[in-house]
Amino acid sequence: MSLFRKVSEPAAAKAGVIVTVEGRDVPVPEGASAAAAVLLAGSDAIRETGVSGAPRAPYCMMGVCFDCLAEIDGIPNRQSCMVTVAPGMVIRRQHGKRTVDTAVAAE
Amino acid sequence: MTTEKIDFAVIGAGPAGMAAATLAAELGLDTVLIDEQDAPGGQIYRGVERAQDNSPLGADYLAGKPLAAALRASGATYLPATTVWHIDPDGTLSLISAAGARTLRARRILIATGAIERPVPIPGWTLPGVMTAGAAQIMLKSAGLVPTGRVVLAGQGPLIWLVAAQLIRAGAPPALILETTSLGNYHFAAHRLPAVLWPSRRALAKGIGFIGEVKRAGIPIIHRVTGLAARGRDHLETAVWNGCETQADLLLLHEGVIPNTQISLALQLEHRWDVGQLCWRPVADEWGATALSTISVAGDGGGIAGAEAAALSGRLAALDAASFLDKIDPAERDRRARPVHRALKREQAIRPFLDALYRPAPAVLVPADEVIACRCEEVAVVQIRRAARLGAQGPNQAKAFTRCGMGPCQGRICGSIVSAVMADTLGRPIAAVGTYRPRAPYKPITLGALAGFEHPEGLSEALTGAVGGA
């Protein structure tokens, strides 16, 4: 179940953008953050911690707690609450710590 | 790439930063305003430029619109979506944005980075489904999103009532409010009420208005809540308190706000533990000027006083910068500042009352042993206590013992908790135990971004300088 929804008043019912969250297309209002998109998508968690693997979801939504770290457009460890959605943005859950792509690193 | 030289750099586009940059530009200072968000407003006025006049967020929120419009119309250069990741005491700022990395050198820098919500460390506060009250408000401000399901608002402070009223207006009323204000707080605050009754009558009336709005909506309110906890397996299932329990899909926590001191602490400015507001605040004079002539502070980042006071303190800092940089003489600064100082005093008048009424319970600062203090590294209170007993003298040594404060948030969330737990364990005052010394980069940045940083002197300075201190 999604933890958030759009306000039903017409003022807020403006054109949205479509982003992909964990492979699923999700319409989100313009101006929303990637973290908000994950909450709208109904994902339980946005990442699993690097220490114990515990599920986490955005906590502060204002760039303080870093619990919303996610992979956005292929780049891990992004503060998703500080990234505004753009059409076609791909947001993926982050499992544990981010890793370095050694094939790229070796180039 | 060369370092561009400017007069005045302002960090943060909330009320303090917007007002400061606008006035500074008007006074003839070559001014740059840097902010992480893509539109001005800070957290309090987030998304305000896009807000409709009938917004459920209310008139106080819409008061941010003219501030943002004045900034846009001013001669200040506004750099949105830009992160300051290092400041050198000589006034050099290292910036990063999608366009790349750059440096600026300002003769005066204003830190206007505002407040963060005080962490509310209760059992289960890391579960998905537990957020801050401010987070829900940001969902509404930035994207017109409201919670679904059964929402429980828990804690205390003006924001609890404001968020509840806003959610009611937006058609998503909370199911239950758990207020943590103790009986002792009511008694303590009552003594301070007569002094603020007249000077702060408008603010008091507004607050009473919000509480009335929530009561008229018929939302159940439980008072004097203690022992709050969040329970669930992989996500929140129930909220628990005083031996009671309720099903909840979303638990929104709030125990007031504290200054965001990440940059001022990293600059090793002197900070004091404010015994009234139970938080660290940088030491600054009536203009926001600090012991470092290049650095000043305005708004809630210098001590909590609210949005209106923040804008006023931003104007004082701009006047002082103009005087410091010889654009106006000190007499003109003082003349222009007089009404601003007076207005600021009026705005601040209510704080002793609010600070007393909504003083967090001891368990908010020193939670039970099993509670996670550091969310990033998953360090429990008991581990901090053990480190203190093993000889760690302060939060910076506790890092080495436990890794607390060493995760991605760089101690932003656990800083005040770790200071308080160590003080409690060592039997010393918090002021004596101290707090973390954060280091650059202030926000994690990628190696790719650093590689694009064509300023070797600045880079080496930033890196070696940053790891030098305590």
A77-98 pLDDT tens trace: 899 999 999 999 999 998 877 6
Which residue among A5, A63, A69 places its CB closest to the CB of B148? A5
**By the CB < 8 Å criterion, does A84 face chain B?**
yes
Best mutation target among B97, B131, B132, B145 (most A Cβ atoms within 10 Å) is B145
Cβ-Cβ contacts under 8 Å, A58 against chain B: 131, 135
Residue B345 has pLDDT above 50, yes or no: yes
In the prediction, which pLDDT does B466 show? 36
ipTM above threshold 0.90: yes
Residue B341 pLDDT greater than 60, yes or no: yes
pLDDT range class, residue B461, cuts 50, 70, 90: very low
**Mean pLDDT, residues B45-52 taken together:** 93
Cα angle, residue A32 at apex, residues B122 and B43 outer, rounded to 5°: 60
Please indicate if any CB of chain A lies within 8 Å of the CB of B53.
no
- pLDDT of A98 reads 66
Mapped onto helix, strand or coil, the DSSP state of residue B192 is helix
Does A65 contact chain B (CB < 8 Å)?
yes
> What is chain A's Cα-based Rg?
14
Phi, psi for residue B379 in degrees, rounded to 5: -105, 125
- The set of residues, in sequence order, having a beta carbon less than 8 Å from that of B206 and lying 6+ positions away, is B60
Q: Where does residue B353 rank: exposed (0-12), middle (13-18), buried (19+ CB within 10 A)? A: buried
Output B446 or B197, whichever has higher pLDDT.
B197
Of all residues in chain B, the percent with pLDDT exceeding 90 is 91
pLDDT of residue B308 exceeding 70:
yes
How would residue A99 be classed by pLDDT, with cut points 50, 70 and 90?
A: low
pTM for this model (two decimals): 0.93
The structural architecture, per CATH, of the domain A14-95 is Roll (3.10)
For range B79-91, the mean pLDDT: 97
Asked if the C-beta of A75 comes within 8 angstroms of chain B's C-beta atoms, the answer is yes
Q: What percent of chain B has pLDDT over 70?
A: 96
Average pLDDT of span B22-45: 97
The yes-or-no verdict on residue A10 having pLDDT over 80 is no
Position B16 pLDDT exceeds 60? yes
Please check the confidence at residue A1 and state whether its pLDDT lies above 80. Answer: no
- Position B48 pLDDT exceeds 50: yes
pLDDT at res. A95: 82
pLDDT computed for residue B449 by the predictor: 76
Mean predicted lDDT score pLDDT of chain A:
86
DSSP code of B118? P
What's the gap in Å between the CA of B151 and the closest CA on chain A? Answer: 9
**Token pair listed for B404:** 């607390």
Task: Tell me if B166 sits within 8 A of B190, measured CB to CB.
Answer: no
Q: Which of residues 26-55 of A touch B (CB under 8 A)?
A: 28-33, 36, 39-40, 44-46, 49, 51-52, 54-55
Tokens 């910076």 map to which residue? B396
Calpha distance A95→A92 (Å, rounded)? 9
Residues of A in contact with B143 (CB under 8 A): 28-33, 36
Q: What number is the average pLDDT over the span A41-67? A: 92
**Structural Rg of chain B based on CA atoms:** 22
CB contact under 8 A, A4 and B145: yes
State the pLDDT at residue B448: 77
| Domain residue spans of chain A | 14-95
Cβ within 8 Å, pair B234-A3:
no
Whether pLDDT at B463 is above 90: no
Give the contacts of A98 (CB within 8 A, at least 6 positions apart).
Answer: A71, A76, A77
Whole-number average pLDDT of chain B: 94
The pLDDT tens digits of the residues spanning B434-460 come to 999 999 999 988 777 777 665 544 444
pLDDT in tens, B348-383: 999 999 999 999 999 999 999 999 999 999 999 999
pLDDT at B460: 43
**Which range (A41-55, B60-74, B295-309) has the least confidence?**
A41-55
Show contacts of B65-72: CB within 8 Å, 24+ apart.
B67/B15, B67/B18, B67/B19, B67/B22, B67/B40, B67/B311, B68/B18, B68/B39, B68/B40, B68/B41, B70/B18, B70/B19, B70/B22, B71/B13, B71/B18, B71/B21, B71/B22, B71/B33, B71/B40, B72/B40
Q: How would residue B240 be classed by pLDDT, with cut points 50, 70 and 90?
A: very high
B104-120 core/surface letters (b: 16 or more CB in 10 A; e: else) = bbbbbbbbbbbbbbbbb
Asked if B376 lies within 8 A of A66 by C-beta distance, the reply is yes
Report the pLDDT value the prediction gives residue B201, as an integer from 0 to 100.
Answer: 93
